[in-house]
Amino acid sequence: MNEFIVKEDTQNILVLKINRPPDNFIKLPVLEQLRDEINSITLHHDYDGVIMTSAIEGIFTSGHEVVDIADGHNERKLRKTLGLVAEALLSLQRLHLPTLTLINGHCVGFGLELALATDFRIAVDQEINIGFPDVRLGTFPPFGGIYRLVRLIGETRARELVLKGKLLTPRSALDSGLIDALAEEDSLLKEGIKMLKGLSRNAPLAMTAAKRSIVDSTLKDFMAVVREDIEDYATIVSSEDYVEGKAALQEGRSPAYKKR
């Protein structure tokens, strides 16, 4: 079986590295392995924290393709698949341990959705892209990423990122509050471990309860929003505009959308 998630135990911090060469393009088998790893972590209470990052140099993730997973023809199957993806991210968000994403390369679309599901984010201080360019391609982030983004940086800045498909540099992302810190490439993991080890000095039971309270306070309307997002997304990816957006990207031209 392909190991799309590489595990490392470093100073009692569990590091999960996405490993789907060449560009960490996410499909269902990757998410299934991620879900299984998260579920196994819930049974292991000895880690001081969990780090999500990439095993591919220069890329955190370049996006996802759930339509191909669900064959693009069976809408019921597609909605079920979308729901499973949203549940995997929610499980990561609800994990009892502190979680951190190390953004060690381009982080767009699903990559940012994944990063937003962790407690903290540190990005490499390089010229990489961070954002949601989805609307340029005929779709939008459907897995709760917009909800999490608005809660994190506010409605005005979220509009800039989502409606304009704006891409940020790490320094701009830091200024907006989207990420928590920057680090040089060769010290990125060290800084991530340092942050989580610092948190581990706090009382574990109190930390778990505090995190549960924080997460639960953000989820009051979350599932209702995600259900609506999934319905909209399933409709969009069945549209002519979505097909046109994909074709335009592959052909290196501007899309000609027809609102259908």
* pLDDT, tens digit, 9 for 90 and up, residues 64-123: 765 554 444 567 777 778 888 888 899 899 998 999 999 999 999 999 999 999 999 999
Could you read off the pLDDT of 134-155 as tens digits, one per residue?
Answer: 988 888 998 999 999 999 999 9
- pLDDT at residue 229, rounded to an integer: 86
- Tokens representing residue 23 in the block: 């560009």
Yes or no: say if 94 and 253 are a contact pair by the CB < 8 Å rule. no
User: In the block, which residue shows the tokens 């999500």?
Assistant: 52
| pTM listed for this prediction | 0.88
- pLDDT at residue 27, rounded to an integer: 80
Mean pLDDT of 117-133: 96
Q: 165: exposed, middle or buried (C-beta count within 10 Å: 0-12, 13-18, 19+)? A: middle
Contacts with 1 (C-beta within 8 Å, 6 or more apart), sequence order? none
Amino acid, single-letter form, for residue 255: P
Yes or no: say if 149 and 161 are a contact pair by the CB < 8 Å rule. yes
Domains of the chain, with CATH numbers?
A: 5-185 (3.90.226.10)
